[in-house]
Amino acid sequence: MFVVLLMLAHLMRHISPNSGWKERLEQLLEKYPSVPLMGMGFTENWNAHPVWTGKG
């Protein structure tokens, strides 16, 4: 799942750079901390990934 979300983040940055999609997803994940992120391929510091931050 995480790889798919990285691809979506990359595409959204190019298609709709002013979208709040990433921020809304981060808020959703914060709202439900019991969601097993590691089981979906998220790394420990997933939100620092270069593609996620826009630096990669």
Give the model's pLDDT for residue 21.
95
Each domain of the chain, given as residue ranges in start order, spans 1-33
Q: What is the dihedral of CA 6, 48, 44, 14, to 10 degrees?
A: -10
* Residue 55 banded pLDDT, cuts 50, 70, 90: confident
Q: Round to whole Å and give the CA distance between 48 and 52.
A: 7
Q: What is the mean pLDDT of residues 44-55?
A: 92
Q: What is the mean pLDDT of residues 38-53?
A: 94
Residue 47 has pLDDT above 80, yes or no: yes
Residue 56 has pLDDT above 80, yes or no: no
Read off the pLDDT of residues 4-21 as tens digits, 9 standing for 90 and up: 999 999 999 999 999 999
Helix axes 2-15, 21-31, angle to 10 degrees: 150
